[in-house]
């Protein structure tokens, strides 16, 4: 038997089997006699002495063996973390690879009529025309940037719509945001670890009405829905000063979490922890400064504490009524002209003035007279770390005191163009 014949016989045998998982066996650099023996040995092996699963078991059956869980096992909670079976041949066209080689008997018929088909290469262009369409691998949709939460594809920070209507009441203009979404578990006797999703959600209409709630459920979406509706039933009205900020500074302690809140002027923005920022946006606060200290990762305590602080605020009117004096505001943008913000309701104003030392509006709402420590911040601190840092800063900011002057020169047409500046920077010949 010639080499070719031996090889062909091997292929024929292998091609006859039903298994899809085949690799072509090619004899190279072997003398014809040896190939004959090899071929016979192969045929012998494949027919008589094989105990392996190769060539006998289908892909499906193999996957079943790895991934399936018995009914008893499922009762005991097995098989939760097992992956699904994959179709490895998805999108593939069996027999056709990148190079476009055709192996007779393997990828196509070995004999065409009486003629033996040779191992040859098919042109790649024909290959592309007949190629299967590439199936996209994305399972879930891409979230647009503006609808992302705090990070990635996670729930915290995302919006989940308004609470479901209750009888006739429709929650118009209400938006709900997820603050916390976590998997919590407890151990059971039968099933072992039982997982649930716990979510903290805050809902509000951006005009003072807001509420928060925690809800749990084995399914994430159910937990969110529960929490949203619970929050909708636990609304609180929060008084705001001119609709954009709190009435005064305050500090709140909830567990090991401390929140220091400062009232800010219009246009300042929300300089806060992201949880507090989200809550402020839901309530309608636009200008605030808040610092969370201690346990700053405890979202539930931050939320509870902040709400408590807001509810315990004293409005200017109630302050005026309590102290029986006019509450007068001095604004720098109005040249510090006194503006009466609140007067005692029944017109009964005290005749004796309050002592200047006894009244400090900025710090009077802190408990036990403990005033938050304010450290002077150096904006160039990072640049002053070492001498080298400072030199780099100076080199990179040569016009640090001249930025405005440079812009003025540009307007008057005195500033040279960037090309000319580059030319000037070159060393003299």
Partner 1 sequence: MAASIPMINTIMKRILILGSKHNTGQCRTTNLTWCRTLMQSQRRYQEESEAQENSEEDLTPKRKIVDPETSIRYVHSPEFVKGYGDKPVWFHYRRNFKGKIPPPTRENCIRQGEIATASPCPICRDEYLVLDAKNIKLLEQFICPHSGEIFDSMKTGLCQTQQKALTVSVMRAQDQGLLEMKLPFRTYDYEDYKS
Partner 2 sequence: MAASTTFRCSSLSSACRLLFQKQTAGYRQLRFLSSSSQDNSASDAVSAAPENEERDPFPVFVQPRVQELLTRITGFDLMKVAGPQKKPLQRPIYKLMTDEQLNAELSSAKERLQHRLQMPPYMKPRRPHLTPLSVDPELAGFDKSNYVFVDISFGVKDRKRSVVIREVDGTLRVAPWDVKERMNQIYNPREGRHVVKPSMFEEANLERMISEKRYQYVLDRACCQFEPDDPDFIRTTHRVYNAVDQCGDYEHLRSTRHFGPLAFYLAWHSSIDGLLVDMLDRDKAQDARDLVVLFADVHPDSSCAAAISELPQQDDDVAVIKTYLATDCKNKDKVELSLRAMVDSQRSKGKTQNSSL
Contacting residues toward partner 1, per CB under 8 A: 145-146, 148, 265-267, 269, 274, 333, 392, 396, 407-408, 410-411
Binding partner 2 (rule: CB under 8 A), the pick from 75, 193, 194, 331 is 331
Is 363 near partner 2 (CB under 8 A)? no
List the alpha helices (DSSP H) in 91-157.
124-129
Which residue, among 190, 198, 156, has the nearest Cα to 176 in the 3D structure? 156
Which residue, among 194, 20, 29, 231, has the nearest Cα to 107 in the 3D structure? 20
Q: Is 164 helix (H, G, I), strand (E, B) or coil?
A: coil
> Measured on CA atoms in the order 97, 101, 105, 107, is the torsion positive or negative?
positive
Residue 421 Cβ vs partner 2, minimum distance, rounded to whole Å: 17
Tokens of 202: 């805050």
Closest CB to partner 1 among 351 and 411?
A: 411
CA separation, residue 380 to residues 13, 268, 291, 393 (Å)? 79, 22, 22, 9
Closest CB to partner 1 among 270 and 325?
A: 270
Residue 146 Cβ vs partner 1, minimum distance, rounded to whole Å: 6
Strand ranges in 49-130 using DSSP code E only, listed in sequence order: 101-102, 111-112, 115-116, 120-121
Is 333 near partner 2 (CB under 8 A)? yes
Residue 402 Cβ vs partner 2, minimum distance, rounded to whole Å: 13
Residue 232 Cβ vs partner 2, minimum distance, rounded to whole Å: 35
Q: Is 187 helix (H, G, I), strand (E, B) or coil?
A: strand
| 323 contact choice in partner 2, partner 1, none (CB below 5 to 8 Å, kind-dependent) | partner 2
Is 112 near partner 2 (CB under 8 A)? no
Which secondary structure element, helix H or strand E, spans residue 122, and what is its range?
none
| 327 contact choice in partner 1, partner 2, none (CB below 5 to 8 Å, kind-dependent) | partner 2
Closest CB to partner 2 among 264 and 275?
A: 264
Report how far residue 412's alpha carbon sits from residue 304's, in angstroms, rounded to the nearest whole number: 57
Closest CB to partner 1 among 347 and 413?
A: 413
Query: DSSP character for 332?
Result: G
Strands, sheet with 209-217, edge to edge from the N-terminal-most edge strand: 175-188, 192-204, 209-217, 236-237
Site for partner 2 in 232-251 (CB under 8 A): 248
Would you tell me which residues interact with partner 2 (CB under 8 A)?
A: 248, 263-268, 316, 319, 323, 325-338, 340-341, 349-354, 359, 361-362, 408, 412-414
């Amino acid at each position: 038997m010639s080499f070719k014949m031996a090889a062909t016989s091997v292929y024929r045998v292998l091609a006859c089997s039903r298994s899809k998982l085949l690799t072509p066996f090619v004899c190279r650099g072997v003398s014809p006699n040896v190939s004959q023996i090899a071929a016979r040995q192969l045929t012998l092996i494949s027919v008589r002495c094989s105990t392996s699963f190769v060539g006998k078991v289908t892909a499906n059956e193999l996957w079943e063996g790895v991934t399936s869980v018995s009914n008893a096992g499922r009762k005991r909670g097995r098989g939760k973390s097992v992956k699904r079976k994959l179709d490895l041949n998805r999108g593939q066209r069996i027999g056709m690879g990148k190079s476009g080689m055709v192996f007779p008997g393997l990828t196509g018929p070995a004999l065409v009529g009486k003629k033996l088909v040779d191992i040859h290469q098919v042109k790649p262009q024909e290959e592309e025309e007949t190629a299967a369409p590439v199936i996209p691998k994305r399972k879930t949709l891409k979230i647009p940037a503006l609808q992302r939460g705090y990070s990635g594809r996670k729930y915290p920070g995302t919006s989940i719509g308004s609470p479901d209507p209750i009888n006739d009441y429709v929650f118009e203009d209400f938006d709900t945001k997820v603050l916390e979404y976590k998997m919590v578990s407890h151990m059971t006797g039968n099933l072992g670890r039982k997982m649930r999703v716990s979510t903290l959600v805050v809902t509000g209409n951006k005009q003072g009405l807001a509420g928060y709630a925690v809800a749990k459920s084995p399914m994430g979406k159910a937990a969110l829905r529960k929490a949203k509706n619970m929050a909708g039933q636990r609304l609180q009205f929060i008084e705001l000063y001119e609709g954009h900020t709190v009435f005064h500074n305050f500090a709140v302690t909830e567990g090991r979490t401390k929140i220091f809140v400062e009232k800010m002027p219009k246009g300042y923005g929300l300089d806060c922890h992201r949880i507090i920022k989200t809550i402020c946006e839901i309530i309608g606060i636009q200008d605030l400064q808040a610092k969370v200290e201690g346990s700053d990762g405890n979202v539930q305590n931050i939320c509870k504490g902040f709400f408590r602080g807001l509810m315990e605020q004293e409005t200017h009117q109630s302050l005026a009524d309590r102290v029986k004096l006019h509450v007068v505001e001095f604004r720098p943008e109005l040249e510090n002209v006194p503006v009466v913000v609140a007067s005692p309701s029944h017109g009964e104003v005290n005749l004796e003035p309050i002592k200047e030392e006894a009244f400090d509006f900025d710090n009077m709402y802190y408990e036990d007279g403990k005033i938050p420590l304010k450290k002077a911040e150096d904006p160039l601190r990072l640049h002053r770390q070492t001498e080298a840092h400072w030199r780099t800063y100076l080199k990179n900011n040569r016009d640090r005191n001249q930025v405005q002057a440079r812009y003025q020169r540009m307007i008057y047409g005195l500033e040279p163009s960037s090309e000319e500046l580059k030319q000037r920077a070159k060393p003299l010949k």
